[in-house]
Structure 1
Amino acid sequence: MTTLQLKNIVKRYKSQTVLDDLSLSVADGETLVLFGPSGAGKTVLLRMVAGVIEPDEGQILIGGEDMAEVDAEHRGIGMAFQNFALFPHMSAFDNIASPLTATRSSKDAIAAGVQKVAKLLKIDHVLSHHPKALSNGQKQRTALARALAGSPPLLLLDDPLRNVDAKLRFEMRLELPRLLAAQGATVVYVTQDYKEAMALGDRIAVMSQGRIRQIGTPAEIYLAPADIEIARLFGDPTINLLDVVPKEGPDGIYVELSDVRIALPGMPGAVVGKSCVIGLRPEAIVFTKAGAPGAIPVAVEAETPLNEKTVTLVMTMRKREVLVSRPAGTPGPASGPAHIAVDGRTAFLFDKQSGALIASAAASMTRNGEAA
């Protein structure tokens, strides 16, 4: 079994603490995505696991064994980093084959292994080329292929799809989970793309300033982000955040937008009268007719078509901006007065002062066995 455990890891560069008392565990065969903005410490953490740099404090255990005295080449790790790190004097084929060659595999087994992963990554036509003749996207795919070719028990992948084109990136989001599952490897995958994190991760660890701020399944992160900043990171367009004070009526807890009540089923009574920020995802808001139940009057300020969806900026009666997202081709007003309806079952409530999540209606209803 190949598990990964990090215990109280600290890494400092002069006066800057890059990793601050960080702990996490990755189960055998699990894909854990490290997600967060640039400078969060994701790549430093990956290089530390690989043995390229050493922690100032803490333990790294692979398969239960402490790596403190184990050199990088003896850790049984496959790696693909942002800077490619290809051997310049070797062809793409030989670069990919290097881990297979190191295990003294037969020529036929090496050729078959290289061709299989190269075809998947669509670089089988450039296997004879040296790195200087490859595009950045081809270099990145070659580095990824080399990491995969040896079927290592632990894979460290540092944003391996960053430089590939949009079409291949989309295809790889579908293909990589199947490939990784087939190999049975334990994977730590770094990305700044939330869609990639949601598509590839069994769990996601959200990092910021050298700490893990939340860890959970993609559904847990999306339905119950730990704070406002994490809620902002997951979603495009970004989540709407509005100051509110929840109230309680005969039909339960609600908030008001342009004097129209938005019911918040599943919210705890403790939120009543508390200064909060409500989070409403743009896709949970729809245009509706005047006079329809829950219709909120707004003024349409701008509309932006974004291929698969159309994003509309509207203004409430009290001049609060709200983004509304709908599938491309769906009818909706492009200007002037309009009405929207909000699905309170998808709302989040955050503490106004700390930004921490107080409650998520969707998560609460899911725990209660209701459809979210």
Structure 2
Amino acid sequence: SGAGKTVLLRLVAGVIDPDEGKIFIGGEDMTDLDAEFRGVGMAFQNFALFPHMTAFDNIATPLQAKRSSQSAMKAGVESVAKLLKIGHVLSHKPRALSNGQKQRTALARALVGSPPVLLLDDPLRNVDAKLRFEMRLELPRLLADRGATVVYVTQDYKEAMALGDRIAVMSQGVIKQLGTPEQIYREPANIEIARLFGDPTINLLDVKPSRDAKGIYVGLSNVQVHLTGAYDATVGRDCVIGLRPEALRFVDEGSPAAIPVTVEAETPLNEKIVTLVRTVRGREILVSRPAGTAGQTEGRAHIAVDGKSALLFDRASGDRIGSKNVVNLRSGEAA
């Protein structure tokens, strides 16, 4: 919240003017073009439906602005209403609609003119969990069928991962990272992004890398965990190691690099089992495994770390060491 996501959408739409920089859509400079000429459709998280108008008239608003014929408006509204399964409520006013129907009506209004660019401002935020899940499944198909470029704002990382071809992570008006969902998850630009993407959250532990004959390693409870990557410059440096819970596993005591821990608690989380363990030095670590697989539910245990999946961050700046995905764009500049 407050990152500048909605401001960015309004800049693209032409609702507000940038203080500096330019807005390009389809390679054309749109900075000085009025909103109605930009070919942009927009849907808001609060639906923004006119209360005195029926769903049909709300959806038809963009077509009326274009002075489309009555027959063209009727065909356009009925087509998009059928797509979104709201044909039976077109004669109803917003007060008679459920939140889900309001959301679909607002989305239909954004889609009806087949704009080349769609700006969706957290459109699923005010609907219930069941509908949100259903729309996460439906939206990619609906949007792909329209062939539009979509800029979709959300505060829900799962929604971003499910819907996005590329994700721009914003903080304080700055795009901190731009990449595919896989890149954002596997190669987060900094600690803030690593924390944001993942459930359960990533384990973050203070370390100071060292070197031996095998390469660069960090010490966890007197066990040497060797890292895979170009980390020569990190020796003796204050760092933070990031370990995804699914990259940890329970092992037998005699296994190589087995870290002794005590099991504190265990809880199911969707299709996973999450176990909270504590190292001999008092560090708390989350371990995740698929539901139905064997693990350790109590007492003393041992875990192993996959050094290939470990992430290393600079403790002072929070930036991931070796990151190449950081971009530095203010919210008013073109990407």
TM-score normalised to structure 2 length: 0.88
Does residue 262 of structure 1 match 2:225?
yes
Shift of 1:112: 4.2
Corresponding residue for residue 208 of structure 1: 171
Corresponding residue for residue 106 of structure 1: 72
Q: Which has the higher contact order (CA 8 A, sep 6+)?
A: 2
Which aligned pairs between 1:71-110 and structure 2 lie closer than 5 A?
71-100=34-63, 102=66, 103-104=68-69, 106=72, 109-110=75-76
242, 249, 266: which one pairs with 1:286?
Answer: 249
Q: Is the 8 A contact 1:246 1:271 kept in 2?
A: yes
Corresponding residue for residue 153 of structure 1: 116
Aligned positions, number: 320
Does residue 230 of structure 1 match 2:230?
no
Does residue 175 of structure 1 match 2:138?
yes
Range 63-72 or range 237-246, more displaced? 63-72
Letter in 1 for 2:255: A
Does residue 348 of structure 1 match 2:316?
no
Q: Is the 8 A contact 2:266 2:273 kept in 1?
A: yes
Q: Is the 8 A contact 2:59 2:77 kept in 1?
A: no
Classify 1:114/1:345 alpha carbon distance in 2 versus 1 (closer, same or farther; 3 Å): same
305, 313, 316: which one pairs with 2:268?
Answer: 305
1:50-94 Cα deviation digits (max 9, x unpaired): 122222222223334433442222221110011211121222233
Corresponding residue for residue 4 of structure 1: none
282, 286, 291: which one pairs with 1:319?
Answer: 282
Match of 1:359, SS state, is: coil
Letter in 2 for 1:138: Q
Shift of 1:100: 4.3
Higher strand share: 1
Classify 1:295/1:243 alpha carbon distance in 2 versus 1 (closer, same or farther; 3 Å): same
In 2, Cα distance between equivalents of 1:167 and 1:285:
32
Q: Is the 8 A contact 1:312 1:323 kept in 2?
A: yes
Shift of 1:108: 6.0
CA-based RMSD = 2.0
Shift of 1:334: 2.5
Does residue 219 of structure 1 match 2:182?
yes
TM-score normalised to structure 1 length: 0.80
Classify 1:78/1:111 alpha carbon distance in 2 versus 1 (closer, same or farther; 3 Å): closer
Q: Is the 8 A contact 2:63 2:73 kept in 1?
A: no
Q: Is the 8 A contact 1:305 1:328 kept in 2?
A: yes
Classify 1:316/1:124 alpha carbon distance in 2 versus 1 (closer, same or farther; 3 Å): farther
Shift of 1:243: 0.8
Classify 1:144/1:108 alpha carbon distance in 2 versus 1 (closer, same or farther; 3 Å): closer
In 1, Cα distance between equivalents of 2:252 and 2:126:
45
Letter in 1 for 2:79: G
Does residue 196 of structure 1 match 2:162?
no
Extract unaligned runs of 5+ from structure 1.
1-37, 361-372
Classify 1:90/1:114 alpha carbon distance in 2 versus 1 (closer, same or farther; 3 Å): farther
332, 338, 342: which one pairs with 2:301?
Answer: 338
In 2, Cα distance between equivalents of 1:181 and 1:307:
29
Range 301-310 or range 350-359, more displaced? 301-310
Shift of 1:113: 1.3
Q: Is the 8 A contact 1:138 1:164 kept in 2?
A: no
1:237-283 Cα deviation digits (max 9, x unpaired): 11100011222223322222111222212343222222210000111
In 2, Cα distance between equivalents of 1:354 and 1:41:
22
207, 232, 242: which one pairs with 2:205?
Answer: 242
1:294-331 Cα deviation digits (max 9, x unpaired): 32110111222223222211100110111111222333
1:334-362 Cα deviation digits (max 9, x unpaired): 222111111111110001111111137xx
Letter in 2 for 1:116: K
Classify 1:67/1:359 alpha carbon distance in 2 versus 1 (closer, same or farther; 3 Å): closer
Classify 1:57/1:266 alpha carbon distance in 2 versus 1 (closer, same or farther; 3 Å): closer
1:78-134 Cα deviation digits (max 9, x unpaired): 100112111212222332233345443536633541333322xxx444333211122
Q: Is the 8 A contact 1:348 1:359 kept in 2?
A: no
In 2, Cα distance between equivalents of 1:338 and 1:317:
11
Which aligned pairs between 1:1-12 and structure 2 lie closer than 5 A?
none
